[in-house]
Structure 1
């Protein structure tokens, strides 16, 4: 029968199943490789051993050798005396050098200088007003400019003047702050001395 033949007819193949999305990702344990872990542990252990077994950090002999005592203000007489060496180090050493020899042909020496060991008033006025132009020191002529240090107090100027007059081979007497105070009042000069000749003229006038 036609109806029965339709029932027995082969059925068409089912369509393929629809492709689905990939499954959700999942984390898996991935430990550090043993070689890397061993190398890291070795480096940490070596660093800790170096810190524990080495000497204290820093070598004082290679750095600033000043002590706390060197950095403290110098103890002085009543009211606290000014340290002339410290004033010199802060204002003069760059030109005249720590040994007082200056720089040949550039900056005159203080060690053995006739100006330093000479008239106190000359020393005071050079420090107060400065000098420009030619000046002969210890047989050599220098041409330059020494600035005025009138911004320093009388006690500081007296301290540094006394220091350079008694340091190295110099044996001159110290200078008192009162001299600088008197020379400030006695002169209305606002410009440096014009060379050594003008300084000599000051000494010749005696006032």
Structure 2
């Protein structure tokens, strides 16, 4: 008599046959061409670093000042310095190219009594800076102007001569010798405290 297969056993065998094998992880090596390109780029970078010239003067380090980083405006001693160029690099960002400044923030240079007035006071403003209240053409400003003593005497003379004769200003030029004298006369390291302290310069000169 023929034995009839168990239906449950047949179902189990069928389901096992329908299943696929469990996935397995296999290492896929990097293509040889990609590896060769990567190695070539790395070796080229190493060779470039080893064979290239050093960039700049290593002795300078972080001890460089703004004067060191600023391009020389005078090609050689005795060369004529362009006052307008010095102004554009150092002053125009605040006082604007037209000398009008920014209302309530940066005072104007065009028509300013501090620009066309006492030359010694103007020289000291550039050499030492000023912070605090400063009245310019009837308006009060409360800000800070940095010192520019890092500029040479010829550069300072050129830029002051420019602002004293530009726009509506018609004042005489300043000389490098004047800045040299004022630089030696006062070794202060802090800015003047507003217009009141600046006025002491003219008082001292009058006395």
TM value normalised by structure 1: 0.62
SS of residue matched to 2:161: helix
The reply to whether residue 80 of structure 1 matches residue 79 of structure 2 is yes
Q: Alpha-carbon deviation of 1:194? A: 0.1
Any unmatched runs of 5+ in structure 2?
A: 1-72
**In structure 2, distance between residues paired with 1:91 and 1:143:** 20
**In structure 2, distance between residues paired with 1:74 and 1:167:** 21
Any unmatched runs of 5+ in structure 1?
A: 1-72
Q: Alpha-carbon deviation of 1:79? A: 2.7
The reply to whether residue 107 of structure 1 matches residue 88 of structure 2 is no
**In structure 1, distance between residues paired with 2:184 and 2:158:** 19
| CA RMSD after TM alignment | 1.8
The reply to whether residue 202 of structure 1 matches residue 201 of structure 2 is yes
Aligned length: 134
**In structure 1, distance between residues paired with 2:151 and 2:133:** 25
Taking a change above 3 Å as real, the CA distance of residues 109 and 82 of structure 1, as seen in their structure-2 partners, is: same
Q: Which has the larger radius of gyration?
A: 1
Structure 1 outlier segments of 4+, above 2 Å? 73-76
Q: Alpha-carbon deviation of 1:75? A: 9.8
Deviations 1:13-38 (A, max 9, x none): xxxxxxxxxxxxxxxxxxxxxxxxxx
